[in-house]
Structure 1
């Protein structure tokens, strides 16, 4: 497994733990927490699934200055408290600063799929 070069300070409790990292690919696992629940039936807010997928996409690009520019996603099934999610991301196209990353998230079933448009900047996004 190669070493992560991006998003070094994010909390694995909220965006997942890296389980595999290779050139242009990443796998990240997240076990849903009580704080992620949106209602009394245990439904996990979709933002946490999206956050996991986004983090996996950033790791697939694995550059300190990668940012998300756009995403086209589909939520395919609900997620509930206590489920473990696995995100798989892979760069499917890249030219210049732009990387297109395909990502899926699954439990025992596919729950999310998306295409992320990521950009590798020459410096930190906050540097203007």
Structure 2
């Protein structure tokens, strides 16, 4: 299956799609010092959210998919050097709207979970 969305994304900041199936995607994010929020090496949650969002968009896999809403929980800290695996599954689709569940793991341990509401628009959101 071919990725059809978010083709210009910076994969060093948002992760790389490593698995893509209909209504499912996995994104792998290698965390770096550039993502650190402090001297202890805590990764800023925005990078985890970004990877999860990218996984959600990839699971829908439409060129015109956009994020409408989300709710998320940060369950455990992520430190610089950790590899984060985000698994996104479309759980419900009604018309142009899809609900996507995303879980993120470090070494098999759940660190993040979120629900993303996406919409597939008839044309580009900026068009």
| TM class by smaller structure | over 0.9
Q: Aligned-residue CA RMSD in angstroms?
A: 0.5
Partner of 2:100: 101
**Deviations for 1:70-124, whole angstroms, at most 9, x for unmatched residues?**
0010000000000000000000000111000000000021000000000000000
How many Å apart are 1:42 and its aligned residue?
0.3
Length-normalised TM-score, structure 1: 0.97
How many Å apart are 1:12 and its aligned residue?
1.0
How many Å apart are 1:11 and its aligned residue?
1.3
In structure 2, list runs of 5 or more residues that go unmatched.
Answer: none
In structure 1, list runs of 5 or more residues that go unmatched.
Answer: none
Mapping 1:9-48, distance limit 5 Å = 9-48=8-47
Partner of 2:66: 67
Partner of 2:81: 82
Partner of 2:6: 7
Partner of 1:123: 123
After TM superposition, where is structure 1 displaced by more than 6 Å over at least 4 residues in a row?
Answer: none
How many residues in Structure 1 have an aligned counterpart in Structure 2? 126
